[in-house]
Chain A
Amino acid sequence: MFKHQFKYTLKTLFKSKSLIFWTYAFPIILGTFFYLAFSNIENSEKLDVIDIAVVETNEYNEDLVYVETFNRLSDDDNEDKMFNIKYVNEDKAKELLNKGKITGYFILKDKPSIYVKENGINETIFKSVVEEINNTKNMINTLSEEKIKGELIKGNQNIDYEKLYNEIISKINNYKSNIQNVSNDNLSYTMIEFYTLIAMACLNGAILSIIAINNVLPNMTGIGKRVGVSPVNKFKLILSSTLASYIVELLGLIILFIYTIFVLKVDYGSNLPLIILLALIGSFAGITLGILVATIFKLNDNAKTGILISFTMLGCFFSGMMGITMKYIIDKNIPIINKLNPANMITDGFYSLYYYDTLDRFYFNVISLLIFSGLMIIISFISLRGQKYDSI
């Protein structure tokens, strides 16, 4: 009987086009949209080479610090190239700025000035660099004064100014900062979108178990009535239907994983066994959620599916599907919501595999999912147990 029920549940599920669309095709389509829309976001947030103009005045050409620094910062061979510089006269610079061809232009007359069109990060960086060049000039002056003072105090009247100047310049040029970056390399936050997608796919697997369970509930379907009067162990029936829907779901998940990893290049971290573990438990949580929805609501298929999809989408919303920041806002301010949210348990599980080296957080999520599934099963069991129908 177990085999029979198992086989026919598989057949029913695979034959329903809309089921297969929502559990197999939709996550893949949505993932493709995510990929197309988000693939460039992080790149466009990186610092670009900024287009600027420098007005060539006499003061500028005589000021070696400015000339050299700007040359160095616009040198194509320089790894830290910051600017594309056009050397022009003032009118041309104004024209370029008005046409939006450059972020701003620099002019050295009496005082160094820059002209920009609006506020913004490129403008800010432009300003900051000019300030830094100015600081360097300042440092040279201050250090020269100090050195000369020192020499004079020593009683040395014959100061070699050129040597002194060169010393200072080389000191400035040879300075090496001692800053060490200790952040993790895996910082791509758009990955969260794909993790919520997996979470959605896992939880939407519940639709499968809803349909499968509805087919054995006498108060739901005609098939259920016939099954209900048959002399078969009901527990076995439910077990085999559940198992069949679990397998259908896993198959969909495998396709989704293969697609996201090889086509969309989603990075799930390097710990493959744990990724598989999370996917298995996540989809199991989905299936148990479906059993619960199928057993406690006395509604038709469509209404049950509607309830489930609203729940899943709300869960995905809190775990960042419609805006990654939402997950952070909830995690930070109302953590209890996401601690109870199965979509977030799955998303956060993948996130902790991707971003963290330690596994505490991952196991916390896995255990939460197991507790969630256990609760779903217990509640469904209680509501299903000993059901009798005098009339339907």
Chain B
Amino acid sequence: MTVFKGFLKILNKCKGIVIMYTVMLLFFGGFTISTSDENSVNFSEDKPDILIINNDENSGITKNLISYIKENSNIIKIDNDEEKINDALFYRDINYVIYIPKNYRIDFLDNKNPKIEIKKVNDYNSSYANMILEKYLKVANIYKSEIDNENILIEKINDTLDEDVNVNITEKQNKSSLERMTFYYNFCNYSLLASIIYIVCLILSSFKNEKISKRTIISSMNYKKYNRILLLSSMLFAVCLWILYVILSFILIGDTLITLNGLGYIINSFVFTICALVIALFIGNLVTNKNAINGIVNVVALGSSFLCGSFVPVEFLPDSVLTVAHIFPSYYFIQNNEMLEKIKITSFGDLSKLFPNILIMITFIVIFIVIINIISKNKRKIG
């Protein structure tokens, strides 16, 4: 009990750290761009964010061009200030800017094919916005060479562009809440690793303080019992943290956790929590300098989070990075989360799809336990 009390005392002292990582999890893991929840059977197009700066009068063909762009995109309103526009473009608040020049309508009707200036970035939304504009201009200019009356021209353009293609969707599934769940649990990788390693290492190093360990060694307490209590207390802390994070995910995202997919997330994160715990014990056994712990926590937690796809979605990571990431347990944890987003689990049997990655995590756990035992055996002597 003395050991456990000591454990709690130190834990109480560094509760700020746990709170900090939890707040980060809530902020970054809970706050995701709200994906549209509509579960419609119809195809809905992606729409690029376009800003139109119209220097011409809003009538006739100019008006028609603008309304066509409006129909096919999200029009973003930004003050007509070049610096603000440039900033918005740089930070991808808008994908595409169209500057309609002065006298566009008159020049267009004069068959001059007037120049339109645009600004764009290099992503697919910009490319798509470009396609929309090109499409309209092509139809408009070609018709213009044959048709002189502006009203008839506009009517013909709209008729031609109106023609819709039949789009059929073969799969209807509401993915958004699973997406959020995966995002949350992927971020958990960082919070779990950082707080468990930090706290456990800090506590172990406090107990390993030379004066304190000399006192415990000569005390009547069996060292095996002492080690066991320390181990169990660390485990208790890790499991409590895991339960807290699971409850938080339920509060933030809701019902999805009660489905079988949700069970998958729970099991997966539990195994990973244990994994984080043994990593923490391993580091705690190696390093006793309190100042060094802070650095090591940051490097280990940030490193495996960046490289395995906890912060940046896995599909954006270069292949070479993902190959290296195989050496971290986090990789397998995150792979399982990604899998849970993509497949629907309908029976308990389906959960076996998670087993290969879980098995690898368990292997990591076993390997670390063996190493910890070897290290602590060699370190028992104090000079």
**A interface residues with partner B (beta carbon < 8 Å):** 17-18, 21-22, 26, 29-30, 33-34, 36-42, 44-48, 94, 97-98, 111-125, 127-132, 134-135, 138-139, 142-143, 146-147, 171-172, 175, 177-184, 187, 189, 322-325, 327-328, 331-332, 351, 355-356, 361
Which B104-137 residues have C-beta < 8 A from chain A? 113-125, 127-128, 130-135, 137
Contact with A along B53-69 (1 / 0, CB 8 A): 00000000000000000
- CB-based contact B43/A135 at 8 Å: no
A131 touches B156 (CB 8 A): no
Please provide the 5 A-B residue pairs with the shortest distance between their CB atoms, ordered closest to farther. A183-B119, A328-B91, A113-B166, A45-B123, A33-B306
| A33 and B303 form a contact (CB under 8 A) | yes
Most chain-B Cβ atoms within 10 A of its Cβ — which of A114, A129, A130, A187?
A187
Q: Which of B133, B169, B316 contacts A179 (CB 8 A)?
A: B133
Residue of A nearest to B40 (CB): A119
Do A184 and B86 have beta carbons less than 8 Å apart?
A: yes
A46 touches B122 (CB 8 A): yes
| Contact sample, A vs B, 6 pairs, CB 8 Å cutoff | A36-B317, A46-B123, A116-B170, A146-B147, A180-B116, A189-B92
CB contact under 8 A between A127 and B165, given known A46-B122, A115-B170, A361-B83: yes
Alpha-carbon distance A94/B171, docked complex (angstroms): 12
Whole-angstrom distance between the alpha carbons of A29 and B134 in the complex?
A: 45
Is B285 in the interface zone, CB < 8 Å from A? no
User: Could you tell me the distance in whole angstroms from the C-beta of B153 to the nearest C-beta in chain A?
Assistant: 11
- Closest residue to B36 on the A side, CB-wise? A119
User: What is the CA–CA distance of A361 and B87 in the complex, to the nearest angstrom?
Assistant: 12
Interface residues on B, range: 35 or more
Q: Is the CB of B118 within 8 A of A180?
A: yes
Contact across chains for A40 and B46 when beta carbons are under 8 A apart: no
Task: Select from chain B the residue with minimum beta-carbon distance to A141.
Answer: B160
Contact in complex: B166, A97 (CB < 8 Å): no
Q: A26-B298, A142-B143 are in contact. Are A116 and B135 (CB under 8 A)?
A: no
Q: Which of A38, A42, A325 contacts B91 (CB 8 A)?
A: A325
Do B116 and A178 touch (CB < 8 A)? yes
- Assess whether A134 is in contact with B145, with CB atoms less than 8 Å apart: no
Q: How far is the CA of A311 from the CA of B45 in the complex (A)?
A: 43
- Complex partner residue of B43 from A116, A322, A323, CB under 8 angstroms: A116
Interface of A, secondary structure class, is helix
A48 to B130, CA, bound (A): 15
Chain B neighbourhood of A114, CB < 8 A? 165-168
* Interface contact B306-A127, CB-CB below 8 Å: no
Asked if A180 contacts B115 (CB within 8 A), the reply is yes
Which of B123, B161, B311 contacts A135 (CB under 8 A)?
B161
Known: A18-B292, A22-B295, A175-B141. 8 other contacts (CB 8 A): A34-B306, A39-B318, A42-B122, A44-B315, A123-B43, A128-B131, A322-B28, A355-B90
- Does B367 touch A at the CB level, under 8 Å? no
- Please state if A128 and B318 are interface contacts (CB–CB under 8 Å): no
B37 within 8 A of A: no
Complex CA distance for A39 and B146, rounded to whole angstroms: 50
Choose one: B91, B147, B165, B173; the contact of A131 (CB below 8 Å). Answer: B165
B342 to chain A, nearest CB (A): 10
The smallest beta-carbon distance between A133 and chain B, in angstroms, is 9
A181 nearest in chain B by CB position: B118
Contact residues in B for A131 (Cβ distance below 8 Å): 135, 163-165
Given A36-B318, A46-B123, A177-B137, is A21 in contact with B295 using a C-beta cutoff of 8 Å?
yes
B160: contacting residue among A34, A139, A332, CB under 8 A: A139
- Once A36-B307, A172-B142, A361-B83 are accepted as A-B contacts, the answer to whether A121 and B163 lie under 8 Å apart by CB is no
Is B12's beta carbon under 8 Å from chain A? no
Give chain A residues whose Cβ lies under 8 Å from the Cβ of B143.
Answer: 139, 142-143
Contacts of B291 in A (CB 8 A): 17-18
In the complex, what's the smallest C-beta–C-beta distance from B290 to chain A, in angstroms?
10
B321 an interface residue at 8 Å Cβ cutoff?
yes
A369, chain B: closest CB distance, angstroms: 20
A47 touches B124 (CB 8 A): yes
Whether A182 and B118, one on each chain, are in contact in the complex, defined by CB atoms closer than 8 angstroms, is yes
Query: Which of A48, A124, A139 is within 8 Å of B128, CB to CB?
Result: A124
CA distance A325 to B28 in the complex (A): 13
Q: A30-B302, A142-B160 are in contact. Are A113 and B117 (CB under 8 A)?
A: no
Interface check B236, CB cutoff 8 A = no
Cα of A135 to Cα of B138 in the assembled complex, Å: 10
Residues of B within 8 Å of A172, CB to CB, are 138, 142
Q: How far is the CA of A132 from the CA of B311 in the complex (A)?
A: 38
- Of all chain A residues, which has the CB nearest B128? A125
Q: Which residue of A26, A113, A179, A356 contacts B167 across the interface (Cβ within 8 Å)?
A: A113
Q: Are B302 and A119 in contact (CB under 8 A)?
A: no
Identity of the chain B residue whose Cβ is nearest the Cβ of A143 in the assembled complex: B146
> Measured between C-beta atoms, what is the minimum distance from B43 to chain A in Å?
6
Residue contact B86 to A37, C-beta cutoff 8 Å: no
Q: How far is the CB of B107 from chain A (nearest CB, A)?
A: 10
A179 near B137 with CB under 8 A, answer: yes
Contact A112 B166 (CB under 8 A): yes
Contacts of A130 in B (CB 8 A): 165
Cβ of A139: which chain B residues have Cβ within 8 Å of it?
139, 142-143, 160
How long is the Cα–Cα vector from A124 to B97 in the complex, in angstroms?
20
Taking a contact as CB atoms under 8 Å apart, the answer to whether B124 and A121 are in contact is yes
B350 within 8 A of A: no
Cβ contact within 8 Å between B118 and A120: no
Contact of B145 among A26, A112, A171, A356 (CB under 8 A): A171
B115 interface neighbour in A46, A111, A178, Cβ under 8 Å: A178
Assess the A117–B170 pair: CB atoms within 8 A: yes
Cα-based distance from A175 to B159 in the complex (angstroms): 20
- Residue B299 interfacial (CB < 8 Å): yes
B291 to chain A, nearest CB (A): 4
Which residue on chain B has the smallest CB distance to residue A150?
B146
Contact assessment for B45 and A127 in the assembled complex, using a CB-CB cutoff below 8 Å: yes
- Which of A18, A37, A116, A143 is close to B321, meaning CB atoms less than 8 Å apart? A37
A207 to chain B, nearest CB (A): 12
Contacts of B93 in A (CB 8 A): 328, 332
